[in-house]
Structure 1
């Protein structure tokens, strides 16, 4: 039983704590951003080294290390995005009246550099761990990447809860690209497919004869995917998901934007409301 319980508890803790820590760091005053980015970059280098060092380590410890390192790699791009360093060439609200493909193109421009960074990091993780005997890190990153892409599309197409409180003040313009509606047509397909894959992973982890390394690795993957499905449900159910990370949101600046970072190009400063 411990072969399942400990990886599940570890996955839950990493998911909850890492999300809260990132929210807390990205809500601090802007003069701290360079230090947070430097720290995240140091952890990124260490994580890539860890993935390379454990690429052929097929032990329970190797699975834990690879999983943790992949999460740290993912955390770097989250920090870089939420701090505003790696976003996209467009850093202003959506044009008034933009709809359909025009709105999609504008939304994509706000994320182009971020999406490019995700691809570069994916290549780095693959080179470090994807072809080794221990591919836990690669599958961890792939799950995070796929499910985040699904969440972005669902938020763009329309969901009930847009979690605007998770955006720091300097990224509030992004909420003008969100659409609020009870649900969209992509949501049931995304959740159903993800749930089916998670079920297969849980079954494989529980299969007779699986090694301790295999059980740990599959449990990490199944647990992470299950939590991603839960996050998708948070988008449409009337639940206060922010309550889970209230401590992380406690650092948000209550008023205004500080000017400690270089100013963005002159653009309209008003932020239109979320689209309905």
Structure 2
């Protein structure tokens, strides 16, 4: 049962970190520079942790590296949803836009964000290259895979697009959310995620080394969350209740965002962030 505590830790870390991101990107735009400054400091600490702990194979080092990988991924998510790193396209798609043209527009909206994710993965890999402790890298890559699969499914069409989690200043993203009973990618995504989760759980259960068992247990928990997140896209579940504490309850916060209509430039934060 030594794998039980790591699984609980991974679940809590995912839930809490997701809630913090939801909370920060729903705040007034003037707060975004401070949110990103704090997140960038945490990112630097995470990268330093991965580098200094690359040769440490203790259980504590596994937890630390895994947490650092999740923190690095959190920086990527916050940078997107605050509008700091998005893409060259700033406008919503016109009604009726579909096919490869629509897919190209979706890529353009998030292009710099996706490139930043690749840069982050390469940097983390270099910091722990050929080292014994690479759990932070695997956590980051697994979260990237979850992210990519979920976004493709939402683009192709699912029952629950979770538009309520898209902050007002990123309304442009809603033009790429598609309501459908099912898409052809979804069964493949769920099958792959389930297979990966089972394999990681088996590795955790059969590992004799406590640190290795901890690492696989942490990754298995993330893989199980990938399966759960995909089913959230299809099943009529009140997902918002998981993070109700992180969503804004003050009308003043929404009124002070200085929100522009979705067809305007949502990344022109410099003027809105100026004192």
Q: TM-score scaled by structure 1?
A: 0.91
Q: Deviations over 1:159-201 (max 9, x none)?
A: 0011111111010111111110111110011110111111011
Contact 1:25 1:251 (8 Å CA) reproduced? no
RMSD of aligned Cα (Å):
2.0
Corresponding position of 1:90: 89
Corresponding position of 1:210: 208
* SS of aligned partner of 2:128: helix
CA distance change for structure 1 residues 135 and 52 in 2, over 3 Å: closer, same or farther? same
Alignment partners' CA distance in 2, 1:149 and 1:257:
32
CA distance change for structure 1 residues 199 and 265 in 2, over 3 Å: closer, same or farther? closer
Q: TM-score scaled by structure 2?
A: 0.91
- Moved >6 Å (runs of 4+): 263-266
Corresponding position of 1:152: 151
Corresponding position of 2:106: 107
Corresponding position of 1:71: 70
Corresponding position of 1:242: 240
Pairs aligned (count): 265
Any unmatched runs of 5+ in structure 2? Answer: 267-275
Alignment partners' CA distance in 2, 1:216 and 1:222:
10
Alignment partners' CA distance in 2, 1:256 and 1:90:
26
Instruction: Tell me if 1:220 matches 2:247.
Output: no
Any unmatched runs of 5+ in structure 1? Answer: 270-276
CA distance change for structure 1 residues 188 and 152 in 2, over 3 Å: closer, same or farther? same
